[in-house]
Structures are given as structure tokens and as C-alpha cells.
């Protein structure tokens, strides 16, 4: 009899431990909501968290955190250290609260790291112009889709030390203080694809080399831009500088900036290269196509470069598309 009782007790304990384990288990998909409640066990669709920061530890590597409804989320900056997707449900306006300082979303999954995707999110910082909206310091792949990034020091800042790939699609970066997008790799090639995006109203008109640009491609960054617009920037719309920076622009627009497109050497650290095709460069107060120093500027000869302060300066090479 005692043996049977012991067996029953052990079985009950096993069931209890299993239930506790399931209660605290991470999930491939977790949820946040403006009506959610943060806890160590939140994250199911029936019991969502209130904050991405709380849902992330409850999510498996490679999983997804989904905001179910419109609202302002997370009063603290978000750090992502594992492969993960943060997204908003279709039709929901999901805005991350203005934290006032620091990088609003910091991504560092290590070198090499896994894939991080940010989708359908709004990031706004008002008045301070500090930090980065999205800062990538280490990882394998970063995908930014359908996001609005407004009012940061740098909208999207990528500064890595190993081979990395970044994709920016259907995204607006505006009202940055330093640069809309800044791209740099100290080691390994940084491959960047930008499609159907806008880079607007970067405000700092400081150094020609460093600040005020819509997209600023620096060392070891291989960047392709298609169907995109840079407008109203205090520096250049698109700028390639320093050794290994190679910027290809196609079917795009750079207008009403100080300069349209620049290829230069940056503080003497090698030279950048630009190739431009079927692109409108107009109404820039300075120079439309600007080759500076040892920079290499290639044009396929099918661009509309008109009504700038000066349309072209430096050596503009007309090349074929093959």
C-alpha cells in the first residue's frame, strides 16, 4: 500500500513540475497589447505582455513578438541580443515611447549572429535629436520593413566589425540630426539593400564629410538603392566615402538637399565610389553630381541632373550598364 501511495505522490509531483515548466517555457511566438499585463509568464495571445522588453525573454531564439493593437509601447529602450522579429499586426499603429536618450532599439546578436527583423513599427524622438532610432552593432542580418523613424541623432546606425547584411524596405527616416542612415564596417563586407524608402530633412549642416546626409555609406559598405528618395537634407542626399564604400543608385531621386550625390575620400581614409542610373537630381542648392578628392563617380548617362546650384563638379565618368 505504501508503495502505491509513493508512486501516486511521485506521479503528482511529476505532473506539477511539468505544468510549472510549461508555464514558464518560452514560445516561438509571443504577443504584446496595449491592454496587456507584464509578468514572468505573459506572452500568450490570451494573456499578452504590455511591453516588448518583457515579452522578449519569453520568446525563443528565432521567434517573433507581435503587437496586437495600436498603442504606445515600452518606456525603456529595447535591446535585442538573439535572432528575433518585432512586428505590429496589420492595421495596428504601434509606436515606441519617446525615451529621450540612448539607442531606441539596439541590436547585437554577436558576430556572426542571426536574423533580426523590425516590421511595421514607429519610432519617434522629439526635440533632443540624440541616440539612434535603430543601432546595429553586431549580427548576421537586419531587416527593417515598413517602419517610420523620426527625430533621432542617426535614424539607422550600422557600425559592425564583421560581414553583415542589412535590408531597408518601405521605410521613412526623417528629421535626423546627424545622418538618416550611417553605414560602416571595420572588418568584413557590409551589404546593404535599400528599396522604396525615403530619407528626409536631416538637419545638421556641419562638416561636408560627416553630417547631414540622407544615406552616408562609409568603409566596406556595398550599398544598392532603388526606387527611393532623399530630400530636404542639410548635407547630401546620398554620399559614399572612405575605402570600400560602393554606392549604386537606380530609379531614385535626390532633390532639395544641399548636394545631390557625392563620391569622395573621407578624411583621407581611402575613397568611395558611386554609380548612378536613371535618377533625378534636381533643385539641390549646392552641387548635383559631386566628385571630390579621390572619389570615383560613375554615371550611366541616363540621369536627369538639372536646376541645381551647380549641376556637376569634378570628374563624372560616363559608363555603360554592362
Specify if 246 maps to a domain.
yes
**pLDDT at 51 exceeding the cut of 70:** yes
Query: For residue 208, is it within any domain?
Result: yes
**What are the grid coordinates assigned to 95, written together?**
509606436
Number of neighbouring beta carbons within 10 Å of residue 134: 30
* pLDDT on residue 322: 64
The Cα–Cα gap between 214 and 201 comes to 8
For 81, residues 6+ apart whose C-beta sits below 8 A from its C-beta are 108, 109, 110
pLDDT of residue 25: 52
Residue closest to 218 by CA, chosen among 256, 175, 258, 272: 272
Q: Is the pLDDT of residue 14 over 50?
A: no
Lowest mean pLDDT among 38-47, 87-96, 105-114, 229-238: 105-114
Q: Which of 146-160, 204-218, 256-270 has the highest mean pLDDT?
A: 146-160
- How many Å apart are CA 251 and CA 231, to the nearest integer? 15
pLDDT at 12: 41
pLDDT of residue 41: 95
Quote the percentage of the chain above a pLDDT of 90. Answer: 82
Is the residue at 3 inside a domain?
no
Q: DSSP code of 265?
A: B
Q: Which three cell numbers stand for residue 77?
A: 529602450
90 in a domain, yes or no? yes
pLDDT tens digits for range 271-287: 999 999 999 999 999 99
Is 216 in a helix, a strand, or coil? strand
Q: With contact defined as beta carbons under 8 Å apart, do 228 and 216 qualify?
A: no
CB atoms within 10 A of CB 225: 29
User: How far apart are the two ends of the chain, measured CA to CA in Å?
Assistant: 87
- Tell whether the model's pLDDT for residue 199 goes beyond 70: yes
pLDDT, residue 15, reads 40
Global pTM reads 0.91
Q: Is the pLDDT of residue 178 over 90?
A: yes
Question: What pLDDT is recorded for position 24?
Answer: 43
Query: In three state form, how does the secondary structure of 101-119 look?
Result: CCCCEEEECCCCCCEEEEE
Look at the block and give the residue holding cell 542639410: 234
Instruction: Evaluate whether residue 7 is within a structural domain.
Output: no
4 compared with 293, residue with greater pLDDT: 293
- Whether the Cβ atoms of residue 150 and residue 177 lie closer than 8 Å to each other: no
The CA distance from 221 to 54, in Å, is: 34
Number of domains in the chain: 1
Distance CA 3, CA 21 (A): 27
pLDDT digit string (tens) for 97-153? 999 999 999 999 998 889 999 999 999 998 777 899 999 999 999 999 999 999 999
Does residue 205 surpass a pLDDT of 80?
no
Structural domain including 47 reads 29-318
Please enumerate in sequence order all residues whose Cβ is within 8 A of that of 191, keeping only pairs 6 or more positions apart, or say none.
Answer: 163, 164, 165, 166, 222
> Which residue's C-alpha cell is 561636408?
208
**Average pLDDT rounded to a whole number, residues 71-83:** 97
pLDDT score for 209: 64
> What is the pLDDT of the chain when averaged over all its residues?
91
pLDDT band for position 161 (cuts 50, 70, 90): very high
Looking up residue 129, the CATH number of its domain turns out to be: 2.160.20.10
Domain annotation covers residue 13? no
Kindly write down the DSSP assignment for every residue of 268-309, as one continuous string.
Answer: TS-B-EEEEES-EEE--SSEEEEE-TT-EEEE-S--EEESSS
Does a structural domain hold residue 88?
yes
Name residues whose C-beta falls within 8 Å of residue 14's C-beta, 6 or more positions apart in sequence. none
Selection from 271, 287, 280 nearest residue 230 by Cα: 280
94 occurs within a structural domain? yes
pLDDT band at residue 160 under the 50/70/90 scheme: very high
The pLDDT of residue 166 is 98
- The pLDDT value given to residue 208: 54
* pLDDT value at 45 more than 70: yes
When pLDDT is cut at 50, 70 and 90, the band that residue 267 belongs to is low
Decide if 166 contacts 176 (C-beta within 8 A).
Answer: no
Amino acid at each position: 500500500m505504501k508503495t502505491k501511495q509513493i508512486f501516486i505522490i511521485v506521479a503528482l509531483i511529476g505532473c506539477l513540475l511539468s505544468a510549472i515548466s510549461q508555464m514558464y517555457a518560452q514560445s516561438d511566438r509571443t504577443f504584446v497589447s496595449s491592454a496587456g499585463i507584464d509578468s514572468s509568464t505573459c506572452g500568450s495571445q490570451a494573456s499578452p505582455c504590455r511591453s516588448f522588453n518583457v515579452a522578449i525573454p519569453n520568446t525563443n531564439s528565432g521567434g517573433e513578438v507581435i503587437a496586437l493593437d495600436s498603442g504606445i509601447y515600452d518606456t525603456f529602450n529595447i535591446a535585442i541580443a538573439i535572432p528575433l522579429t518585432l512586428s505590429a499586426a496589420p492595421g495596428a499603429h504601434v509606436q515606441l515611447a519617446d525615451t529621450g536618450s540612448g539607442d531606441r532599439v539596439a541590436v547585437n546578436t554577436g558576430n556572426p549572429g542571426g536574423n533580426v527583423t523590425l516590421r511595421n513599427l514607429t519610432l519617434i524622438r522629439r526635440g533632443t535629436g540624440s541616440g539612434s532610432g535603430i543601432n546595429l552593432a553586431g549580427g548576421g542580418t537586419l531587416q527593417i520593413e515598413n517602419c517610420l523613424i523620426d527625430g533621432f541623432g542617426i535614424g539607422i546606425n550600422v557600425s559592425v566589425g564583421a560581414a553583415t547584411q542589412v535590408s531597408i524596405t518601405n521605410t521613412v527616416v526623417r528629421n535626423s540630426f546627424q545622418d538618416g542612415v550611417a553605414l560602416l564596417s571595420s572588418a568584413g563586407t557590409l551589404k546593404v539593400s535599400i528599396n522604396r524608402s525615403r530619407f528626409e530633412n536631416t538637419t545638421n549642416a556641419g562638416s561636408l564629410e560627416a553630417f547631414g546626409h540622407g544615406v552616408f555609406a562609409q568603409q566596406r559598405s556595398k550599398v544598392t538603392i532603388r526606387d527611393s528618395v532623399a530630400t530636404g537634407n542639410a548635407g547630401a542626399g546620398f554620399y559614399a566615402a572612405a575605402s570600400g564604400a560602393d554606392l549604386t543608385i537606380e530609379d531614385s531621386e535626390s532633390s532639395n538637399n544641399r548636394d545631390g550625390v557625392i563620391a569622395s575620400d573621407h578624411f583621407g581614409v581611402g575613397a568611395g565610389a558611386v554609380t548612378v542610373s536613371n535618377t533625378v537630381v534636381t533643385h539641390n542648392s549646392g552641387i548635383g553630381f559631386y566628385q571630390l578628392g579621390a572619389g570615383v563617380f560613375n554615371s550611366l548617362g541616363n540621369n536627369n541632373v538639372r536646376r541645381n546650384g551647380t549641376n556637376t563638379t569634378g570628374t563624372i565618368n560616363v559608363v555603360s550598364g554592362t
